[in-house]
A and B are shown apart, each in its own frame.
Chain A
Amino acid sequence: MTPITCDQAVQQFFAYLDRALAGETLENLEAHLEACLSCCDRLAFSRRLDDFIKSRLPDRPVPPSLEARVRLALGRPETGA
């Protein structure tokens, strides 16, 4: 295991939240987080911000006419609908 600095830890937070870290990189970060309260707070904020954005992404119900529109377009793909 190699000790990492706070700067190095912060640069890996998003990959950590996206579950994209593995092996020694993950172990090094987790070891740092166990020892560094400040980085834990920063990570918690990054996670909270992610959840905050996710919960506010635009969403709309599927228009009932969409499937018919797409089927029609598929019937004549050279011209579109």
Chain B
Amino acid sequence: MRESEADGGMVTAPLDPETRARFEALALPHLPDVYRLAVRLKGRAQDAEDLVQETYVKALRAFPSLRQPDRVRPWLFQILSRLVLDQQRAEPREVATGDLEELDRFSLYDLIWDEDPLPYSDNLHGDFLAQFTDEEVRAALTALPETYRVPLVLVYVEELSYKELAEILGCPLGTVMSRLHRGRKILERELWECAKRRGLVRSWNR
């Protein structure tokens, strides 16, 4: 037997070769999309690659119980998303959401309007956003706890419906809605804090 017949000599797969081949034929074409989502959730390439590998290994184990093989793509996204959320549960971060009612009402739009940091601009809100570097925006996104970042990235990248998100995250529609609202509000607040740190706005009044 040639070594290449069994993936470089590895013959320890617990599933029969036919099932594994079927899994690979169905799941591997989605590898670029799965990697893309992983990069957007994790940022660093190494973390994203580890996450993709873990997703596929877990998916292979669960493959025999997959009832709708035509839904393999959202199923892979679900496995990946839950891995990210589980990692957060394993290493909980300080969730700096503060008072949630206050957060829900936070308005970057109003603050920019009140502060008027660019008095000569005729496109105040657009010019305000244009001052941030890509790195600063990514740092604001990374500051989002995974509970908020996962649904937000899924909506941004995959344009999933709230119903699909509820299935992926295993939570009710109302929870999906409030996480997407609060996630965006935390992002607005992070950008405002970043603007204060950079001296783009006065910082004594908020």
Residues of A at the B interface (CB closer than 8 Å) are 10-11, 14-15, 18-20, 41-42, 45-46, 48-50, 52-54, 56-60, 62-63, 66-67, 69-81
Q: How far is the CB of A30 from the nearest CB of chain B, in Å? A: 18
Main secondary structure of the interface of B (DSSP, over half): helix
Tell me the B residues contacting A by CB distance below 8 Å. Answer: 6-8, 10-14, 20, 23-24, 28, 31-32, 35-36, 39-40, 43, 45, 48-49, 52-54, 56-57, 60-61, 104, 107-109, 125-126, 129, 134, 137-138, 141, 153, 155-157, 161-162, 177, 180-181, 184, 187-188
What residue in chain B is nearest A74 (Cβ atoms)?
A: B60
- Give Cα A19–Cα B162 distance, bound, in whole angstroms: 9
- Contacting residue for B129 out of A49, A60, A78, CB 8 A: A49
In contact, B52 and A70 (Cβ under 8 angstroms): yes
27 contacts between A and B (CB under 8 A): A11-B104, A14-B177, A15-B180, A18-B162, A20-B161, A20-B177, A42-B107, A53-B141, A54-B156, A57-B141, A59-B36, A62-B31, A66-B31, A69-B49, A70-B52, A71-B28, A72-B8, A72-B10, A73-B56, A74-B7, A74-B13, A74-B23, A74-B24, A74-B57, A75-B7, A75-B13, A77-B57
Chain A nearest CB: distance from B191 CB in Å?
A: 8
